[in-house]
Chain A
């Protein structure tokens, strides 16, 4: 089972980063891969069990379910329900921890999934690079522009 783990340091206080990341319906505002986002059945985006429908820049659509969200721990978990990409049993976890030395943020993003063996390597690279690492860079820019 592929396991993707990426982490970075964001030069902003943890509450500032969390304020952006905790909006399960807000990834289209900062993530370069995501064109539009909507929560099904008009539920709030911090309701556990809500489903977001996102359209990627390439036009494909996927649905993701919010499994857990903690403002105390500054974590959330989600899984993929429907996707045109062969990512099966996909569960992702995001976790922020304060770097007290300098008032910065440690951001940990990981996921596990199953897929066809022939595609495991390419999909691992895609998730690690196009989703996670690209997300890190995008948040850095997003916060810089917001400042």
Chain B
């Protein structure tokens, strides 16, 4: 099983950062790689079990299911149902933790998945280095960091 772990710090209180990232249908509002998103079946984006169907700027289409969402602990867990990436059993979590020293937020984004052995390094690099870090860089541009 492949694992991805990336983390960063942004210069804003965690409630402000959470307001920006908690919307499971809101990736196009903050992540530069995501072009458009919709929730299937007209469900609310904070209904656990809802499915988002989104398109990347490169044209790839991905369907993901919301597995867990906590406004108290400020995390969101989801799985990939369908994607062109060649991964299976993919589960990812985005988690915010307050940094009390200076009103900052520690952000962690993790993923676990199975894939063909020879593609693992490339997928880990792409998911961690491009997708997750790309989202962090966008948040740092908004909030500073």
Listed in ascending order, the chain A residues whose CB lies under 8 Å from chain B are: 5-9, 97-102, 104, 106, 108, 133, 136
Bound-state Cα–Cα, A108 to B108, Å: 14
State the Cβ distance, A140 to closest chain B Cβ, in Å: 10
Interface residues on B, range: 10 to 19
Asked whether, in the complex, the Cβ of B97 is within 8 Å of the Cβ of A100, the reply is no
Measured between beta carbons, the chain A residues less than 8 angstroms from B128 are 100
Asked whether, in the complex, the Cβ of A97 is within 8 Å of the Cβ of B106, the reply is yes
Q: Contacts A101-B133, A101-B136: A9 and B104 contacting too (C-beta < 8 A)? A: yes
B6 interfacial by beta-carbon distance below 8 Å: yes
Q: Smallest CB-CB separation from A8: which chain B residue?
A: B101
Listed in ascending order, the chain B residues whose CB lies under 8 Å from chain A are: 5-9, 97-102, 104, 106, 108, 128, 133, 136
A interface secondary structure, majority: strand
Measured between beta carbons, the chain B residues less than 8 angstroms from A101 are 6-9, 133, 136
Bound-state Cα–Cα, A133 to B100, Å: 10
State the Cβ distance, B142 to closest chain A Cβ, in Å: 15
Query: What are 5 pairs between A and B in contact, CB < 8 Å?
Result: A6-B100, A97-B108, A98-B7, A99-B106, A100-B6
Bound-state Cα–Cα, A98 to B106, Å: 10
Q: Smallest CB-CB separation from B133: which chain A residue?
A: A101
Measured between beta carbons, the chain B residues less than 8 angstroms from A98 are 5, 7
Bound-state Cα–Cα, A125 to B30, Å: 38
State the Cβ distance, A120 to closest chain B Cβ, in Å: 19
- Contact of A108 (CB < 8 Å), options: B7, B8, B97, B133: B97
Asked whether, in the complex, the Cβ of B98 is within 8 Å of the Cβ of A7, the reply is yes
Q: Contacts A97-B108, A101-B136: A5 and B100 contacting too (C-beta < 8 A)? A: yes
Bound-state Cα–Cα, A108 to B106, Å: 11
Bound-state Cα–Cα, A100 to B133, Å: 10
Measured between beta carbons, the chain A residues less than 8 angstroms from B101 are 6-9, 133, 136
Measured between beta carbons, the chain B residues less than 8 angstroms from A100 are 5-8, 128
State the Cβ distance, A5 to closest chain B Cβ, in Å: 7
In order of increasing CB-CB distance, the 4 nearest A-B pairs are A101-B8, A8-B101, A106-B106, A100-B6
Q: Smallest CB-CB separation from B99: which chain A residue?
A: A7
Bound-state Cα–Cα, A95 to B108, Å: 14
State the Cβ distance, A111 to closest chain B Cβ, in Å: 13
Asked whether, in the complex, the Cβ of B133 is within 8 Å of the Cβ of A106, the reply is no
Measured between beta carbons, the chain B residues less than 8 angstroms from A97 are 7, 106, 108
